[in-house]
Amino acid sequence: MTQRHSIEKLLVANRGEIAARVMRTAHALGIGTVAVYSDPDADAPFVALADEAVRLPGATPTETYLRGDLVIAAARATGADAVHPGYGFLSENAGFARDCVAAGITFVGPTPDAIASMGSKLEAKALMEAAGVPVLPGATVTDETDLGAVAEKIGFPVLVKAAFGGGGRGMRIVRAAADLADAVDGARREAASAFGDGTVFLERFVEDPRHVEVQIVGDAQGEVVHLFERECSIQRRYQKIVEESPSPAVDETLRAELGAAAVAAGKAIGYTGAGTVEFVLDQAGAFFFLEVNTRLQVEHPVTELVTGLDLVALQLRVAEGHPLPADVTGARIDGHAIEVRLYAEDVAAGYLPATGTLHRFAIPALAGVRVDAGVTDGSVVSPHYDPMLAKVIAHGATRAEAARVLARALARAGIHGVTTNRDLLVGILRDEEFLAGRTDTGYLPRHPELVRPDVSAGERVRAAAAAIAFQAEHRREAPVLGGLPSGWRNVGGPPQIVGFEVGERTLEVAYAFRRSGLEVAVDGEPLAVDLVAASPDAVTLLVDGVRRDYRVHRADGATFVDGPDGSSAFCDVPRFADPNAVAHAGSLLAPMPGTVLRVLAATGDDVTAGAALVVLEAMKMEHTVAAPVDGVVTELHVSPGDQVETRQVLAVVEEPA
């Protein structure tokens, strides 16, 4: 008979949206909460939400959220009798789970032995194969491993994958033996940084499969059930960005087979709590085991919305010793749910992480839409952690309805100050192939138009709206004749000129208020718009006879414009250029803020175009800065460990005379 006990105070050993999400459920159950936070997170929303909070000195994950000893010390100091690890960080660390048990603290998750059994992905596969679950061939990499021989046995292409953790970190596809050693080294470094363990393994790579996973839950009495599948095939850099339940590719027969395999996997390791069994589904419809995630998944809300269950509440009740209730063992699918991950990143630049201050973060409250956010107005997005800002989830009676509502919520959101993947997500949700359910892991490479959309037409109108709102702000502040537009003349005169920077480009808006109405040109090309109304915060235009309202927000030298045709951020062009801001020809500029991991050249070295010179780390991902031309390294401005800002000069390569 399992002994039951009550959780009175819960320490959440995580950050961001998942920490806040766990705390909300804990509070609803009457459980007190404790946050732990790093120095960059001191003002984060999840810290304010907690009843108590304990500082973890430092900024990087290895200094803070990966320090299990500090987390347990914080639990003791606050009297917390349970720890919820969220996902990532310590969530799949069997040693940490054991330390919690040894300290008399309830670990909200599976047993340390269950975590350890899945900690080695290769050993996990052996267990799954013994349980009758289909598996892919693979092998763990050690210092003695003959990489070439192992890869040839598995068969190219192979996937190099972190043995601990997940989320796409420490993963590389290798198609040729010559590239294998570098891929393994890079994956090891990335995995060590993200999860505190650099162990990786090789696995046969299935080309463009569907990624389908099954939610399982188990109790301490030995019962394990599944809560249906999720489709997570749309990914960038092996990181899921769109998830849904149920999968459009799974019928009742396949659902039963996947569910049975997932339950067998759970029972094979004595699983308790909420976990996920991940599979790949090939083009022929066959599925193969990937791994068991012994934790709550990022995408768990879609399962919650189609089943009506709170998985965090279920985790807590199982941790208290309760059996699975009837609403879990008898769960059914109701409708369809889709989740998107809103990231701070520059999609067109290769998904480079973005940092900065979120001057505004507002997603419309539409029926059926749920927002799990780790940020709010004024939040600072730092380079130290995963760049996910929020998860936005929609539930509808049908898949098409969920996609339509979710796309509208994202398109109408005000997200100002940090570049995000919002436009990509909206494009996916409105794409015909996605709406037809034809998704796999090769979806994004097939749709470059979604990654680099043509936004020129709407952008020109939004630039005009920004200029007019700017003019309205100036007139409102004018000491005399504030009701007249700036530049207005009784007789004709030259137009007003406003310059904006958009990324690396500059837009010039010329406008004049004539007797016949508004006259606008963008970069010298006339724009057919008429002004209906204007204020510093809102501009209404007639665009080819169609009335459109644009919301305008100015902050920190930028103008953010949101309208029915999209959103744009326009930076003011300074009247006088800073001569020190011009980089020398051949300069290698930092593409984002981050930490210098390695410098692979020295002053005076001859280098070829494309040669790696500096490796940066930002948001737990490595980014290589390469030589732009053949030449000589004449200047080198950074060393390992240096912190750099976007567009900071790292080095200079000069071509031979």
Structural domain includes residue 130: no
Which band of pLDDT confidence, cut at 50, 70 and 90, is reported for residue 347? very high
236-281 per-position pLDDT tens digit: 988 999 999 999 999 999 999 999 999 999 999 999 999 999 999 9
Count: domains in the chain: 5
Percent of the chain's residues with pLDDT above 70: 94
pLDDT at res. 579 = 47
Say yes or no: 330 and 269 in one domain.
yes
Distance CA 653, CA 657 (A): 12
Q: Are 569 and 502 in contact (CB under 8 A)?
A: yes
486-497 per-position pLDDT tens digit: 555 555 568 899
Say yes or no: 155 and 223 in one domain.
no
What length is written for the chain?
657
Q: Over 146-173, what HEC string results?
A: CHHHHHHHHCCCEEEEECCCCCCCCCEE
Q: Report whether pLDDT(581) > 80.
A: no
Structural domain includes residue 121: no
- Chain-centroid distance of CA 379 in Å reads 16
pLDDT at res. 486 = 52
76-80, 356-360, 507-511, 639-643: range with lowest mean pLDDT: 639-643
Domain range for residue 482?
Answer: 456-572
Among 153, 174, 204, give the residue marking a domain's end. 204
Give 246's contacts (C-beta < 8 A, 6+ positions apart).
228, 229, 230, 231, 255, 306, 333, 336
Structural domain includes residue 1: no
Average pLDDT over residues 529-545: 95
Say yes or no: 288 and 167 in one domain.
no
Higher-confidence residue: 581 or 322? 322
- The CATH number that applies at residue 283 is 3.30.470.20
- The CATH number that applies at residue 609 is 2.40.50.100
Say yes or no: 395 and 472 in one domain.
no
Structural domain includes residue 618: yes
Give 324's contacts (C-beta < 8 A, 6+ positions apart).
217, 218, 219, 223, 225, 314, 318
- The CATH number that applies at residue 180 is 3.30.1490.20
pLDDT at res. 587 = 76
Structural domain includes residue 392: yes
Structural domain includes residue 348: yes
Say yes or no: 444 and 464 in one domain.
no
- The CATH number that applies at residue 520 is 3.30.700.30
Chain-wide mean pLDDT for the chain?
A: 91
Say yes or no: 420 and 461 in one domain.
no
> Tokens 């008898």 identify what position?
330
Q: Report whether pLDDT(8) > 50.
A: yes
Say yes or no: 647 and 553 in one domain.
no
Say yes or no: 220 and 314 in one domain.
yes
pLDDT at res. 582 = 47
pLDDT at res. 103 = 98
Q: Report whether pLDDT(611) > 50.
A: yes
List phi, psi (to 5°) of 633.
-75, 110
Q: Report whether pLDDT(102) > 90.
A: yes
Among 395, 422, 451, give the residue marking a domain's end. 451
Q: Report whether pLDDT(569) > 70.
A: yes
pLDDT at res. 623 = 79
Structural domain includes residue 298: yes
Among 523, 551, 572, give the residue marking a domain's end. 572
Structural domain includes residue 332: yes
Say yes or no: 348 and 472 in one domain.
no
Estimate the share of the chain in helix, then strand, then coil, as percent rounded to the nearest 5: 30, 35, 40
Say yes or no: 245 and 363 in one domain.
yes
Distance CA 472, CA 475 (A): 5
Say yes or no: 104 and 173 in one domain.
no
Average pLDDT over residues 220-224: 96
Average pLDDT over residues 549-568: 95
Say yes or no: 196 and 234 in one domain.
no
